[in-house]
Structure 1
Amino acid sequence: MSHSDKNDLEGLNPDAAELAALGYKQEFKREFSSLSSFCVSFSVLGLLPSFASTMYYTAGYAGTPAMVWGWLIAMVFVQCVAYGMAELCSSMPTSGGLYYAAAKLAPRRWGPLAAWLTGWSNYFVQVTAAPSVAYSFSGMVLSLIQIKNPSYTPQNYQTFLLACSAMMVMTLVSCLPTKVIAHFNTCGTVINMVFLGIVMITLLAVAGKNHAFNSSHKVWTNFENQTDWSDGLALLMSFAGVIWTMSGYDSPFHLSEECSNASVAAPRAIVMTSAFGGVVGWLLNLIIAYTVVDVSQVMNDGLGQPYVVYLQQVCDYKTTVALTALTVVCSFMMGQGCMVAASRVTYSYARDGVFPFSDYLAHVDVRTKTPNRCTWMNTIAGMLLLLLIFAGDVAISAIFSVGAIAAFVAFTIPIFIKITCVSDLDFQRGPFHLGRFSKPIGYASCAFVLLMLPILCFPETKGKNLNAQGMNWTCVVYGGPMFAIIVWWIVSAHKWFTGPCLTYVPDTSVSSDVILEGVSKPDDDEASVSITKKK
């Protein structure tokens, strides 16, 4: 590094200097705070629309027990994954997130492969998130027409066009300046919280007035198993709804290059999102479990929207329409948050040459300071995925399971590498760390994901009852592309992909009053993460 580069580094603010020490130049404006990062993350989480989208899994597989103590069991392990991710985020706050962490923590010769697999799995999460939300959004909107006019049957092309229109609006919002997006998502989170509170209070009030609540014995012990598997396995299968709902708390990691005091604010936002989402999500499940009249009818009604059918059981027509409309608004806010997070992930990968035409994609708009080309690429890819609507409900539903599996595979790979390949002395902690609980929490995270991977691919039926319509196509929709990615690696990518491409290589001798984080790998078999701190 030249003398002028040293002076440039010393003149950077703490966040930019920390990012430079990780190997990247500051290109975004840092206009996100811990609160606004949490707001984006909570918008992506979207408890109310997420529950509405995945009620088929949470209640449909095992009934109300899956909604109450099933959610609690799953959330214990989901929190383990979240805390492990927050620790990595505090140590390495870059928009590459898990992909960067996997590359830097793995032994040198395995780092590029670890980054390749983590990055692509995470990209599949991001690229399927907005279209899956848009699909759910369009389904709920069209169900309102069905409620008004029972003879109306939505056509696939109507669902497709409405979902694509929603994605276009989300994209336009996501291309606005960073400061505007931050304010928009803050407002979106307030709307999400307020509307969620209105729905929960209304359900309690209306249910208490119109019919008695379900007994605790029924809610906690009465399995309504609608699969061909045992009650225990059906309960585990119901975790798909929890996992998909809670797969958005990594957003602050990807927004860390736009966040002030990123090594503290970003992990704090991750923990806030997972904790708040876990508690409030359980309360929502609890309310619905105690007020639902007939789970079987909710799951099998011809409307095809379990959440809306549930509202019809509990509420009158006007209240059903009002609560569904509130959920639709929350769904749009959620989709827009997904779009923002996905664009940052895509940009970080394009910056490192992962995609074809990466040089074109790795562009930050000079006016808005946002990666608009990446946003539009994801929109086009999402619209292509929405073509699965024409293949039927089973095919389009696979994008929900793919999102759940792909997310937690990407979340867990760097955590697994950290607990198996990096010693406590070599891992450089950030301000947020788990201390002696780091490895136990990491092992619990990995064990949970390892257990859930095959279970999330199980179909509802088995034996002679299993057919193409009842098949769980998740293993094909996720496994197929991942297999192609592995083949691509073997044939070509291993020759040119070397992991994150650093755009700023700091000289560790530079004096600075801030903590500079970097990664050093002394040999091929050992990885270590180190900090240079000059006082």
Structure 2
Amino acid sequence: MASPSSNSHSEHTRDEAVLARLGYKQEFRREFTPLEVFGVAFSIVGLLPSIASVLFNAMPNGGPLAMVWGWLFACAFIMCIGLAMAELASAAPTSGGLYYWTYSLASPRCRNFLSWIVGYSNTIASIAAFASVDWACAIQITAAVSIASNQVYVTTNGQIYGIFAALVLSHAVLVSLGTQILARLQRLYILLNVCLCFIVIIALPIATPSEFRNSASYALGDFTNLDGWPSGFAFILSLLAPLWTIGGYDSSVHMSEEASNATTAIPWAIIGSIAISAALGWGINVSLVFCMGSDLEGILSSPIGQPMAQIFYNSFGQKGALALWSLVIVAHYTGTPVNTVWLDALLALAIGLLAFVSTQAINAIFTLVVTSSYISYITPIATRFAFKNDFKPGPFNLGKFSFPVAAIAVSWMVFMNMVFFFPTTPQTTAQEMNYTVVVLGGFMSLAVFWYYCPVYGGVHWFNGPVSNLMSAEKGQDDESASEKTGKGRGVDVLIVDA
């Protein structure tokens, strides 16, 4: 029987061979096990804190019906996106992910430009995700203060922004830690998040007083429309809640070169994180609709400033709600291993300044995450089928269902991107408009301008992903020459000790 160490070495060798076939040498340490790779995607989802963050969107645009059935409806399409992405990840598990797939599958005439667009849209998605998660966490911290003060404390935008800035900077420090530390954190986060989900699913119905309990007909069938859009369109707008919550599953792709057995671990991490999040999230929403009472306007306008926190306050009382809400904040805090850099932190702080425009303006960061992510998802999935290429499926593939699933995924993302440019209410002002189109449109316009800029633009020098195997081979030749002269470097430039 092979020892665990020999199996690990065999997996690493296979991973390095796959990477070499794609044109790269191994550079990162493969510290992440399949469970920890799943943990990365699952931690980015941050299920309970994320549902709490965007409950303000689902409740006025359908209420219970949107929270329960809208969740399931959206999850079916999210799974299609995940399946299409998992196929690409299995075929080419590189940390470049979306950017690399686009370049390798598109026509030579446009692959540079398309991979450039993917790179910049994925960048703004990462920055917006960073900002939206920490803004939501800041709101949850002020909600905890409001609960502790029996709803006497009312926060200001300046105070929320101060907390937000502290969170951004602390998370920038967190993601600067070593790979091994981040890998081990995922196991703790999986346990914490799953336990939180079950606490809400089981304990909330038990603790809720009778006056806040809803009948099955109300919880599973009532449609409440408070924002003024036609009911059908309001329901579609409510889907931001599941689409933002179950997002970021491409994060595991960026860990491809740090994961063992990447051709299977990465696709299953994507699918697993979506499936488990969909099931647990549905359970949380069902628990909430049965236990939140019927005064949705009162919940949304509560001085606590956070709908789920108000529901907990009604059900558990002050001390119980504060204890549970503290765990929600901790889950948010430890569960945000956003793969970013300090520049992202500074840009996230800049986006956070929208809070001083209006509540609607800062809430646009949630739709900004979805729309910018979808641009970077649509492009590689579509290029696989839109151009002639030599795509070779990996161990995970859908066979004859590949094209129908991809077509559904792309059509859904295009449609939802158009929807999410609309304002939250039919009548709007400059302060209350949807700033998604401003931020995303401005950022991507600058990206296109930078690409086509005369003399200095990317069109003159950008060549997409560059293989580093040539430099590795040169390094081997240099090492061989050094050994002949008694000046060996003592390291193998092609194989990293894992």
TM-score after normalising by structure 1: 0.82
Who is 2:439 aligned against?
477
Contact 2:205 2:290 in 1 (8 A): no
In the TM superposition, what is the alpha-carbon distance from 1:308 to its structure 2 partner? Answer: 1.2
Look up the match of 1:411: 377
Deviation, 1:212, is 6.5
Look up the SS of the partner of 2:225 in the other structure.
Answer: coil
Where 1:153 maps in the other structure, the secondary structure is coil
Structure 2 counterparts to residues 13-412 of structure 1, below 5 A: 13-149=13-149, 150-207=151-208, 209-211=209-211, 213-293=213-293, 294-335=295-336, 337=337, 339=338, 342-343=339-340, 375-412=341-378
**1:494 paired to 2:480:** no
* Counterpart-to-counterpart distance in 2, 1:505 and 1:83: 34
- Report how far residue 386 of structure 1 moved: 2.3
2:391 equivalent in structure 1? 427
C-alpha contact (below 8 Å) 1:23/1:506 kept by paired residues:
no
| Letter in structure 2 aligned against 1:413 | T
Q: SS state of the match for residue 304, structure 1?
A: coil
After superposing on structure 2, the runs of 4+ consecutive aligned residues of structure 1 that deviate more than 6 Å are none
Is the contact between residue 23 and residue 505 of structure 1 (CA under 8 Å) also seen in structure 2? Answer: no
Question: Which whole-Å CA distance do the structure 1 matches of 2:229 and 2:388 have between them?
Answer: 40
Cα distance in 2 between the residues matched to 1:215 and 1:27: 57
AA partner of residue 431 (structure 1): P
Give the residue type in structure 2 aligned to 1:461. Answer: T
Q: CA deviation at 1:194?
A: 1.3
Deviation string, structure 1 residues 431-489 (Cα, Å, up to 9, x no partner)? 11111100000010011112111111111322xx3222432121112122112212222
User: What SS does the corresponding residue of 1:235 show, helix, strand or coil?
Assistant: helix
**What is the Cα deviation at residue 323 of structure 1?**
1.7
Q: Secondary structure at the match of 1:101?
A: helix
In the TM superposition, what whole-angstrom CA distance separates every residue of 1:76-129 from its partner, at most 9, and x where no partner exists?
A: 111000000000000111111111101111011111111111111111111121
User: In structure 1, what is the Cα distance between the partners aligned to 2:429 and 2:40?
Assistant: 40
Gaps of 5+ in 2: 1-9, 473-498
Question: Per-residue CA shift, 1:236-277, capped at 9, x if unaligned?
Answer: 011111111111211110100100111111111111001111
How many Å separate the matches in 1 of 2:178 and 2:414?
40
Distance in 1 separating the partners of 2:55 and 2:139 = 14
Q: Distance in 2 between matches of 1:234 and 1:281?
A: 21
* 1:355-402 superposed Cα distances (whole Å, 9 cap, x missing partner): xxxxxxxxxxxxxxxxxxxx2222222223223333332222111110
Contact 1:21 1:505 in 2 (8 A): no
Q: Tell me the equivalent position of 2:481.
A: none
- The residue aligned with 1:468 is 430
SS at match of 2:273: helix
Deviations 1:39-72 (A, max 9, x none): 1111100011100110011222111111111111
In 2: Cα distance, 1:503 partner to 1:119 partner: 19
**2:400 aligned with 1:436:** yes
Letter in 2 for 1:489: Y
Q: Residues 340-369 of structure 1: CA distance to partner in whole angstroms, max 9, x if unpaired? A: xx23xxxxxxxxxxxxxxxxxxxxxxxxxx
**Offset, 1:25:** 2.2
- Relative to structure 1, the CA distance from residue 256 to residue 199 in structure 2 (aligned partners, 3 Å threshold; closer, same or farther) is same
What is the distance in 1 between the residues matched to 2:108 and 2:445?
Answer: 23
On the 8 A contact 1:129/1:403 being kept in 2, the answer is yes
Letter in structure 2 aligned against 1:197 = F
> Of the candidates 469, 477, 480, which is equivalent to residue 504 of structure 1?
469
The AA in structure 2 aligned to 1:486 is: V
State the secondary structure of the residue aligned to 1:471: coil
Distance in 2, Cα, partners of 1:271 & 1:311? 31
Corresponding residue of 1:446: 410
Whether the aligned pair in 2 keeps the contact of 1:24 and 1:505 (CA below 8 Å) is no
Deviation per CA, 1:498-524: give whole Å up to 9, x if none: 2112212599xxxxxxxxxxxxxxxxx
User: What code does the residue aligned with 1:398 have?
Assistant: A
Q: Secondary structure at the match of 1:255?
A: helix
Closer/same/farther in 2, CA of residues 304 and 422 from structure 1, 3 Å limit? farther
Instruction: Name the amino acid aligned to 2:416.
Output: M
- AA at the equivalent of 1:262: A
Q: Which amino acid in 2 is paired with 1:396?
A: I
Change (3 A) 1:203 1:26: same
Residue 458 (structure 1) aligned to one of 417, 422, 425: 422
What percentage of aligned pairs have identical amino acids? Answer: 33
Aligned residues: 457
Q: What residue ranges of structure 1 are gaps of 5+ in the alignment?
A: 1-9, 344-374, 508-535
**Preserved contact between residue 41 and residue 251 of structure 1 (Cα < 8 Å):** yes
Task: Quote the RMSD (CA, aligned, Å).
Answer: 1.9
Q: Quick check: 308-317 or 73-82, which moved more?
A: 308-317
